[in-house]
Amino acid sequence: MNWGWKIAIAFSLFGLFIGILVFRSFQTNIDLVSEDYYQEELAYQNKIDKMTNERKLRQSLTFSQQSQQLAIQFPNHSASPIQGEIHLFRPSDARFDQVYSIALDTQQQYIISTDQLAKGYYKVKVDWESGESAYYTEESIFIQ
């Protein structure tokens, strides 16, 4: 085999390799952190203010996992009702994200059943209000 055939084979293999890479890249799922990230970035100072308010609390939120449950304990600091939402954010796959409206039990807790959630890493983002004050906190958890 002469050098002309070797060059032709090398270019063909290189073209096949590039074709496979292009095909595989179209098969890969790419999730954005947020669909409207630009709007969220513009309102980020509001989130910073909420995080500052949360740090000023004497008792902050506590997260605990017990047998197939995630318990979020809210502080007993106000007679005002607590309202807001809890966002379970799965960075690796947006299909597993969950959003819950806060409805506390008599012990100021919100319980989330984890048996239906996909196992793995989540960020729990809690955006809540009590009276005139707004709060925000994030916690990383691993569901097993």
pLDDT, tens digit (0-9, with 9 covering 90-100), for 54-107:
888 888 888 999 888 899 998 876 677 888 999 999 888 888 889 999 888 888
Q: Which of 124, 122, 143, 125 is nearest to 135 (CA)?
A: 125
Of 92, 81, 88, 99, the residue nearest 65 (C-alpha): 88
Domains of the chain, residue spans:
37-143
For residues 88-125, b (16+ Cβ closer than 10 Å) or e, as one string? bbbeeeeebeeeeebebeeeeebebebeebeeeebebb
Question: What's the whole-model pTM score?
Answer: 0.73
Contact 143, 119 (CB under 8 A): yes
The answer on pLDDT for 133 being more than 90 is no
- On the CB side of 15, CA atoms within 13 Å amount to 6
Q: What is the pLDDT of residues 17-39, one digit of tens each?
A: 999 999 999 888 776 666 777 78
- At residue 40, the 3 state secondary structure works out as helix
The domain 37-143 having CATH identifier 2.60.40.10: the answer here is: yes
28 CA to centre of own chain: 20
